[in-house]
Structure 1
Amino acid sequence: MDATEDQETLALARSGDGEAFRRLTDPYRHELQVHCYRILGSVQDAEDLLQETLLAAWRGLAGFEGRASVRSWLYRIATNRCLNALRDSARRPQDRVAPPVEVPLPEPTRRRGEPTWLEPYPDVLLEELPDRTPGPEARYEMRESVSLAFLVALQQLPPRQRAVLVLRDVLGFRAAEVADMLDSTETAVASALRRARVTLAAEMPEADRDRAPLPDSPVERRIVEEFARAFERGDVDAVLDLLTDDVWLTMPPLPLEYQGHAAVGHFLSTIALRDRRRYVLVPTRANGQPAFGAYLRDPRTPILHAHGVLVLTLRGERVAAMTRFVDTGVLSRFGLPRSLRRGDVRPWG
């Protein structure tokens, strides 16, 4: 849509033309949803905030003077709606309760102060994003900016720093644009960005960036298949052979993290794969990474019960992190059911 068409469409939308409003905003729907997801960490919350953003934009068209682009205006609305949602959730912490665990868990390598409220994002939704080049000041590529490592690190930032870092370093908006979006000053934006970068650098070392094999490459497929076979057999030693020495195991939202072969091996043998528990892993993708819907076998029936989503972070030819999302409710986002029959899935061998 060129500038003239854009102005004509805007004029029609202001007159109450719903179809014109959709033409004006539809090109940005998917990227706005991902933006809300980055800040909030929840797919459902991101969808809700997207709808709030579009409703606010529809109601506020009369006040849109066109000094900024429609895209920047929508990002302003979406970002501030997200910050309001984070403030509201902070006031009502009882709304979010970490799920109970089945058995007492081993002492973790690291215990975070707060739960990590993060959900996996289905790759099928990422495929709907427009091929839009970030602004010239962006520091992260699309693939990295939706990775679990990046998002977990992002969740450690205060909300305003989180928003500034995403707007500046992921989307590449200029400092003046971000200051305008947040009703702030360029000096305050620069200060927030410096603090955010320090925290992110500590959470995401530079050496770990860009070291994963390409998605769906032969290397990635081989690692994923070997991991799935070993995990489905309940072979802890074979799983450990596929992990980096400094591998992390996390289970959002639980604030417990396990690092290294000894800690992860102990967790697998005493918790995940204890008492000859066996799983079926159904392949999918989340956050640009290989993932599985995990289903627990029931030896008394042919039914397989949902046991969350397991996402792998690869480094070179090894698995550097395993992230198990314990909420089975996220499976529906990946088109996966709550239960399966054994005959419905093919074992990895």
Structure 2
Amino acid sequence: MPGSEKPDEQQIRSLVARAQSGDARAFEKLLKLHQHGLLRFCRSMLGSSSEAEDVLQDVYLGAWRQLSTLKSSEALGVWLYRIARHRCIDHLRKRTPVPHDLHTEENSTGSVPLHGQRSTEIPETYAENRVAMLDLRRYVGELPQNQRESWVLKEIHHLSYASISEIVGEPVATVRGRIARARTTLAERMQPWR
């Protein structure tokens, strides 16, 4: 596996087999393939970068302990997201509610990235776009948890409805409905920005 290239399916199968045999380095390589997406997903679920990083460590530990339950290398991503989802839900249940200003933490949800100003963008347009993205991030954070997680997995992580269904443990029709409701709510809330 050369430096920055993504491994092919055969290499991933080999890494999974080695990891399941106890090879920690192979497991680490598998996690690196998904770490950015998992971190963004945890941020979107928890609304906090620091909490997401802590929970992600629990995800890694849980994945290592449950590695024998991974049935195929093709299911690795879905399997990791399912573990992450469960860890986030557990963390949310234990969390003491605290006020959270979404504007104070840089890219707190991880669900709607704020891009830097482009050299061709007019400063006023950049400022408006940034405020719109902050509003969108806030509205995503206000969605019911089941809608938010499904919307983030579809719109940000570009997973299929079938994969999302596996991750959240609900039928595809339920996932489609949640995403549709989330899209409708977000479209209504973002109406002033059109």
How many angstroms apart in 2 are the aligned matches of 1:206 and 1:6? Answer: 46
Matched, 1:48 2:34: no
* Aligned match for 1:4, one of 3, 10, 14: 10
Partner of 1:269: none
Q: Is 2:78–2:166's contact at 8 Å kept on the other side of the alignment?
A: no
Which deviations, in whole Å up to 9, do the C-alpha atoms of 1:281-307 show, x marking residues without a partner?
xxxxxxxxxxxxxxxxxxxxxxxxxxx
Partner of 1:21: 27
C-alpha displacement of 1:119: 4.9
C-alpha displacement of 1:55: 0.9
Partner of 1:76: 82
* Aligned match for 1:168, one of 138, 141, 154: 154
Matched, 1:205 2:191: yes
Q: Is 2:165–2:171's contact at 8 Å kept on the other side of the alignment?
A: yes
Q: Is 2:112–2:137's contact at 8 Å kept on the other side of the alignment?
A: no
C-alpha displacement of 1:141: 7.8
Stretches of structure 2 that go unaligned for 5 or more consecutive residues are 1-6, 116-129
- What does 1:30-179 align with in structure 2 at a 5 Å threshold? 30-66=36-72, 68-89=74-95, 92-93=96-97, 96=98, 98=99, 116=101, 119-121=104-106, 143=114, 147-179=133-165
Change (3 A) 1:7 1:39: same
Q: Is 1:13–1:21's contact at 8 Å kept on the other side of the alignment?
A: yes
Query: Structure 1 or 2: larger strand share?
Result: 1
Q: Is 2:59–2:87's contact at 8 Å kept on the other side of the alignment?
A: yes
Matched to 2:184, the amino acid is V
C-alpha displacement of 1:68: 3.9
Change (3 A) 1:4 1:54: same
C-alpha displacement of 1:46: 0.7
State, as a whole percentage, how many aligned pairs show the same letter.
Answer: 30
Tell me which stretches of 4 or more aligned residues in structure 1 moved more than 6 Å. Answer: none
How many angstroms apart in 2 are the aligned matches of 1:67 and 1:7? Answer: 5
Change (3 A) 1:122 1:153: closer
C-alpha displacement of 1:164: 0.6
Query: Structure 1 or 2: larger helix share?
Result: 2
Structure number with greater Rg is 1
TM-score (structure 2 length as normaliser): 0.76
Q: Is 2:55–2:88's contact at 8 Å kept on the other side of the alignment?
A: yes
Greater RCO, 1 or 2 (C-alpha within 8 Å, sep 6+): 2
C-alpha displacement of 1:82: 1.6
Matched to 2:181, the amino acid is R
C-alpha displacement of 1:78: 1.2
CA RMSD of aligned residues (A): 2.7
How many angstroms apart in 2 are the aligned matches of 1:50 and 1:118? Answer: 23
C-alpha displacement of 1:118: 6.6
- What does 1:276-291 align with in structure 2 at a 5 Å threshold? none
Change (3 A) 1:206 1:27: farther
- What does 1:231-246 align with in structure 2 at a 5 Å threshold? none
Change (3 A) 1:59 1:179: same
How many angstroms apart in 1 are the aligned matches of 2:134 and 2:17? Answer: 41
Q: Is 1:116–1:152's contact at 8 Å kept on the other side of the alignment?
A: no
C-alpha displacement of 1:71: 2.2
Q: Is 1:168–1:174's contact at 8 Å kept on the other side of the alignment?
A: yes
